[in-house]
Structure 1
Amino acid sequence: MRDLGAGFGHLLKGQRWVARHGKSYGFGLLPGLITLVLYAAALIGLALWGTDFVAWATPFADDWSSPWPGLFRGFLTAVMFALALLLAVLTFTAVTLLVGQPFYESLSERVDRDVSPDGTAPESNLPLWRELWISGRDSLRVLARAAVWGVLLFALGFIPVVGQTVVPVVGFFVTGFFLTEELASVALQRRGVELRDRLALLRSRKMLVWGFGTPLGVSFLVPFVAVFLMPGAVAGATLLARELLGEETRDGADDRSDGGCADPAVSPGPAPAR
């Protein structure tokens, strides 16, 4: 239970960090807004033409007596839309991180410098194209794992009582785990931690991971909330990654606002040598 509270604490600390650094927060909203527009267009299209698609995919139901075709197709349409929403929650973070990779990496580095006792941050020293490739590749591998869980939970959802009570709760914890992996990957990938090792690291502290990711996943179900929480979620995941790796973190991160100092995350100056 202590780890649950610690994980949630990292989430809150991340939000407080970006609240104190207005420029970082403002630029951090842009990738989420771009991704939100794309996802909203896809979901609106599904809502408008989903019924027609289900009818096209189930011609065998045309010969059924009324009202079974309508009930059956209505159920499939609802399930398809619910799965699309779940997939949107699971993939929103990955797509947003990919779109905003350069910024979020800089934001994560700044958090590291703020809380590190010696004021330094690990650097990947990889070219940007290589970081984007690794991030995209790993996101697809994580999505494949999440999809397996999604299919399993969907099947278990048909079990009476359990499917309507236990399965949704398990679904939130699964979502929280994979959300945390995607967010923490910004800091862990910069430290050279491969996907398999990242997953093993997260599994070793499941309560900590669930404390961070599960409430975040629940909040992401509320429209537009994910956009506004993403910058703070990346900052909080950086703090969580430091705890997972046992790195020393000084108390009291930089409390200065952006108005008083330049923000390396958005500075037009030269990027660190790679």
Structure 2
Amino acid sequence: MGDLVKGLGLLARGQHWALRHRSDWRYGMAPALITLVGYAGALVALVVWSDDLASWATPFADGWTSPVRGAFRELVTAMLVCGGLLVAVISFTAVTLLVGQPFYESLAHRVDVSQGNAPEPPDRSALRELWTGVRDSVRVLLLVGAFGVVLFVLGFVPVVGQTVVPAVGFCVSGFFLTAELSAVSMQRRDIALRERLRLLRGRPMLVLGFGVPLVLTFLVPFAAVVLMPGAVAGATLLTRELLHAAPPGRSGPTVE
């Protein structure tokens, strides 16, 4: 429970840091707002076409009696929309961080400076930094997609699919949302994706305490835009916590 509370505290500290640095907060909302416009259109399309998607995905139910078929496809529709929302939270963050990469790197640096012992950024070109960010984001999204497929299938299991699976889905989303947000500060420390995920897995309750409340908050319209700068700041603080607690020799730069 201690790490769970600490993770929530790091999230709150990040938001407080952003509020105390208003110029960073205002500029940090711009990439999120641009991305939000595109995602809003995609989510509206998903909701509008969700019934058709559910029918297309369940041709085996065509011969069922009308009430059973209707109830089953309504459940599938709800799962598609909920799954789309959770995937959108993760991919929205990835796209926003790519759109606003130079700004968010600068923000993470200022958070590090304010806390002391700021790391020197790796000697890489901006183009290579962008490529690394795109490559790692695609890998994370593929992992999210793999978990999403498994959870989608488990969603058909009676009782478990309507109780346990949604809770696990939020935990998975919280973990990978934290992985995306902490990528800014970890990439500045030249820590490769595999090592980042290892560090996050080493403190699961800390990561969930940070990520799950953020996932739930990001589902509120426009909340992601307002909270994104503070989320990056909080993820930088979380990175410092993870590296401070890591065993000697396990937190340095790695190469993939």
TM bucket, shorter chain:
0.7 to 0.9
The answer to which structure has the higher helix fraction is 2
Residue 158 of structure 1: how far off its partner (Å): 2.3
Matched with 1:217 is: 215
Shift of 1:223: 1.7
TM-score by length of 2: 0.88
1:164 counterpart residue number: 162
TM-score of the two chains, using structure 1 as the length reference: 0.82
Q: Quick one: which amino acid aligns to residue 26 of structure 2?
A: G
Shift in Å at residue 44 of structure 1?
A: 1.2
Cα distance in structure 2, aligned partners of 1:238 and 1:153: 30
Please state how far the C-alpha of 1:75 moved relative to its aligned partner.
3.7
2:32·2:224 contact (CA, 8 Å) conserved in 1? yes
User: Once superposed, what is the RMSD of the aligned Cα atoms?
Assistant: 2.0
The residue aligned with 1:37 is 37
Does the CA contact (< 8 Å) of 1:179 and 1:213 recur in 2? yes
The answer as to whether partners of 1:176 and 1:209 remain within 8 angstroms in 2 is yes
How big is the shift at 1:95? 1.0
- The aligned residue for residue 5 of structure 2 is 5
Letter in 2 for 1:29: M
> Where does 1:169-208 land on structure 2 (aligned, <5 Å)?
169-208=167-206
Residues 191-270 of structure 1 aligned to structure 2 (within 5 Å)? 191-246=189-244
CA deviations over 1:67-114 (Å, ceiling 9, x no partner)? 555445444333322221121112111111111111000000010111
The answer (yes or no) to whether the contact 2:122–2:188 under 8 Å persists in 1 is yes
Kept after mapping to 2: 8 A contact 1:219/1:225: yes
Counterpart for residue 82 of structure 2: 82
Is the Cα contact below 8 Å between 2:119 and 2:188 reproduced in 1?
no
Corresponding residue for 2:127? 129
Given that 1:110 and 1:121 are in contact with CA atoms closer than 8 Å, whether structure 2 keeps it comes out as: no
**What are the residue-to-residue correspondences of 1:12-27 with 2, within 5 Å?**
12-27=12-27
**Equivalence for 1:111:** 111
1:168 is aligned with what amino acid?
Answer: P
Percent of pairs with identical residues: 58
Q: Which amino acid aligns with 1:163?
A: G
State the secondary structure of the residue aligned to 2:244: coil
Looking at CA atoms only, which structure, 1 or 2, has the larger radius of gyration? 1
Q: Distance in 2 between matches of 1:3 and 1:155?
A: 31
- Map 1:40-79 to 2 at 5 A: 40-55=40-55, 66-67=66-67, 70-79=70-79
Q: How many angstroms does 1:125 deviate by?
A: 2.3
- Cα distance, 1:56–1:11 mapped onto 2, change above 3 Å: closer
Letter in 1 for 2:51: T
After TM superposition, give the deviation of residue 127 of structure 1 in Å: 1.4
Q: What is the CA-CA distance between 1:28 and the residue it aligns to?
A: 0.4
Moved more, 65-74 or 92-101: 65-74
SS at match of 1:126: coil
Q: Distance in 2 between matches of 1:70 and 1:158?
A: 15
